Structures are given as C-alpha cells and as structure tokens.
Amino acid sequence: MPADSVSPPPTSAFGWFLAGQRQFVSLPAVILIAAFTGFGGLAHASGVGLAETVFLVAFVWALPSMIVVVGAIQAGAPLLATMFAVALSAARLMPMTMALIPILRAEKTPKWALYALSHFVAITAWVFGMTKLPDLPREGRAPYFAGFAVTLTVFNMGVAAAAWLAAAKLPPLAAAGLVLLMPLYFALSLWNAARTSPTERLALIFGMAIAPAMHALAPNLDLLLTGLVGGLAAHVIGSRLKSVEADLPPSTFGPADPAALVEVALVEEEGAR
Amino acid sequence: MNGLSYHAFDVWWWPWVFLILAGWAANDAWRLLGVAFSGRLTETSRLFTIVRSVATALVAGVIAQLVLQPGGDLASTSLALRLGSIACGFAAYRLAGESVSIGVATGEAAFFAGAWADL
C-alpha cells in the first residue's frame, strides 16, 4: 500500500489499521518519544528493573501515573498509598474515555474491542482520536485508532527500554541530565497545558510548594496529601477567579490551529481547555 | 521504609504484584469505567474540575520530589544546579513564546553548562 495520504480509503479493517499506523510519524509522537526517553532514565535511577519499566509503559500508558508509581517506589511508599495516588492522578482518564468512545465506535464494534482500545486513552492518542476520527467513516475508526495507538505504545516500550539500558552505560553526568529531563518536561508541559485555566496553574504551584512540607509531615502519604490539600486549595481560590477565566480565549481544542494541538499533546494531562 | 513498599519483600513476584495493583489496576480501572459510562459525564462538570485540580497538584508534588530528592546520578548534583536548570528552562519557555520543546532543551543545556562550570 502506498504511504502517501492521497491513497484511496482502505476497504478492510486491516487497511484502516495500516492507515492509522502511518499517522505515527508526527510531531506529537516525536515529543512523546523524548518524554519516554526521560522516563526510561528516571526508572533506572529509581531502582526499577528493565522488565518492570517496560511493563509500566505497556500496561499503565499514562506518564503522570507512571511517574507517580516510580516516585512511590523510590520513596518506599506503601502499596495502598501508592494505589490511591495513582488512582487520583488517573481519574481524568475516565471523562476522556467517556468523550472518545461515542466517536470511536461503529454499530458493529464489539464491546470488548472498546474496552481493549480504551487502554490507549492518554493525551496523545486521545487528541489524535478526537481530531481525526470524526472525518472518517464509522467502520474505519476503531482499526484506524488502533493502528496509531498500538504503534505508539509498542514503539515507546522500545524507547524506554533503550533509555534504561543507556542510563546504565552513560557517564554519571549524562545520566543525571537524562533523569532531569522528566521533571523539566513535566513542569513545563503541565504549565503549558494549563494556560487557559488559572485553577490548574494554581494547582501546579501549590503542589510543588507544599510537597516538601507534606513529605516532612507524613512521608508515606505525602503525595496524597499534596494532591488533596494543593488541589482543593487551588479549586477554592481558582473558583473565585472565575470571572478572569471567563475572559480568556476558549478551547484550544476544536478546529484550533495545529500548533495548539501539538502543545496540548505535549503532556499526558488533558487540562488544556 | 515501612508498610508494603515495592522493596518490602525479597521475593521475585512481590514487585510485580505491586506494579499490577498500583500501576495497572489503579490506572486502567478509570478507562474501563469510562467505556461503561461513555457519554454521561462531561469534562466540564464540577466534579471533574475538582478531580483534575487534585490530580494536577499530586503530579506537581511528584515533580518537586524528583527535583528536591532525586534518585540515581542526579542525586550527586547540587540542588542549586537542579533548580537553576529548571528556572532557565522556564525562562526560555516564556521567551520563546511558550514553547515547551525550547524550554526543555534550554533547561538541559543549562544543566550541562552549570555542571561543567562546577556549580
């Protein structure tokens, strides 16, 4: 099948899968690869094994949850506290999935296929699905999405593994730079994704500011406390700023310019509206 | 530390139990629920905005932890160098018209320059 975009629409599910796969070469995907390079380095530095690192990429597939898990492992947090922290950081995946599924499904799409495909809901694939799928015939959507999302995931499993292996071989300073990539990337991309929401930016600032105090207060529950205290404080104060928020430009999501979408896709966090 | 941490038991399967429960289950449960309830809750609902703020603050806490108490080779660098690199990255992000890529690249460059200058 020719690789150009003017080829006739596929006639089989497999044809749609391949068409989706070809969409893999894109700027958001490249940025995501850089992020997974950072994750591989971070996982290595935190004492997480190679197989365990690849497992996290494949079976969690949401960077915030993944760094929460790795952070908890490094800090020696107990299982239950870690589960709560991950569940809190992942709750946003539910409404994202709820929004995508009606677009994704065709009349004949089996329920199990929707449950399986939901695993790939994370910001990059989600933005891809929400923007590209509505233009396609219904029967092509699920395989097209699968082609893109599965390729992205499998490729990044390899990227994280390569970064993990490289981290073990790199000189100490280069390895340190690799570990720094993750907080640097996350701080900037979360800040950027929250550009239309003062509440989200407050949540980021509060979370970073109170984390050391929460750690001193309750070393095992610091992440949970940071999220609850910082997030609720941001919500209360942010609600008072609602009048300001109303004056800001509306959704960056929609028929918006591609650059905005790329920036949105920078992070596994959907707070960009 | 105490409790059922990742390194709590010296058996091969315990880390996997930890990863499956805290990593996979705690995360994918939301996606599965999302399919089950698809089309019912909107992203602009009040509950969702609260959930999102809590999630953002929680991840921000992790970011702070990664900078203040890093693991691996980053731990042997100075706190001033780490914070300075993040600050340079943020400044470049702003100056470059809110470009995350330029911010990240500048932050990394500042880190290596600072380390080379023995800061």
Look at residue A209 in the predicted model and tell me its pLDDT. 96
Of A204-218, A250-264, B75-89, the poorest mean pLDDT is in A250-264
Residues 53-82 in B contacting A (C-alpha not used; CB under 8 Å): 53-74, 76-77, 82
Residue boundaries of the structural domains of chain B: 77-119
Q: Is A68 part of any domain?
A: yes
Q: Is A245 part of any domain?
A: no
Considering only CB atoms, which chain B residues are within 8 Å of A76?
Answer: 1, 5-7
Considering only CB atoms, which chain A residues are within 8 Å of B77?
Answer: 176
User: pLDDT digits over B25-66, tens only?
Assistant: 999 999 999 999 886 655 567 777 787 788 889 889 988 988
Domain with A38 in it: 13-178
Q: Is A135 part of any domain?
A: yes
Q: Is A194 part of any domain?
A: no
How many Cβ atoms sit within 10 Å of the Cβ of residue B118? 7
The type of residue at B35 is V
The answer on pLDDT for A12 being more than 80 is: yes
SS3 sequence, chain A? CCCCCCCCCCCCHHHHHHHHHHCCCCHHHHHHHHHHHHHHHHHHHCCCCHHHHHHHHHHCCCHHHHHHHHHHHHHCCEHHHHHHHHHHHHCCHHHHHHHHHHHHCCCCCCHHHHHHHHCCCCHHHHHHHHHHHHHCCHHHHHHHHHHHHHHHHHHHHHHHHHHHHHHHHCCHHHHHHHHHHHHHHHHHHHHHHCCCCHHHHHHHHHHHHHHHHHHHHCCCCHHHHHHHHHHHHHHHHHHHCHHHHHHCCCCCCCCCCHHHHHHHCCCCCCCCC
Q: What is the ipTM of this complex?
A: 0.83
Q: Is B52 on the interface with A (CB under 8 A)?
A: yes
Look at residue B2 in the predicted model and tell me its pLDDT. 56
Of A112-121, A181-190, A245-254, the poorest mean pLDDT is in A245-254
Q: Which residue of B has its CA nearest to A121?
A: B31
Distance CA A254, CA A163 (A): 35
Considering only CB atoms, which chain A residues are within 8 Å of B74?
Answer: 45, 175-176, 179-180
Number of CB pairs < 8 Å for A and B? Answer: 358
Q: Is A273 part of any domain?
A: no
The answer on pLDDT for A24 being more than 50 is: yes
Is residue B20 very low, low, confident or very high in pLDDT (cuts 50, 70, 90)? Answer: very high
The answer on pLDDT for A169 being more than 50 is: yes
Q: Is A148 part of any domain?
A: yes
Residue A213 neighbours by CB under 8 Å, 6+ apart? none
User: pLDDT digits over B53-64, tens only?
Assistant: 888 898 899 889
Question: How many distinct structural domains can be found in chain A?
Answer: 1
Residue B87 neighbours by CB under 8 Å, 6+ apart? none
* Contact (CB<8Å) A60/B37: no
Considering only CB atoms, which chain B residues are within 8 Å of A176?
Answer: 72-74, 76-77, 111, 115
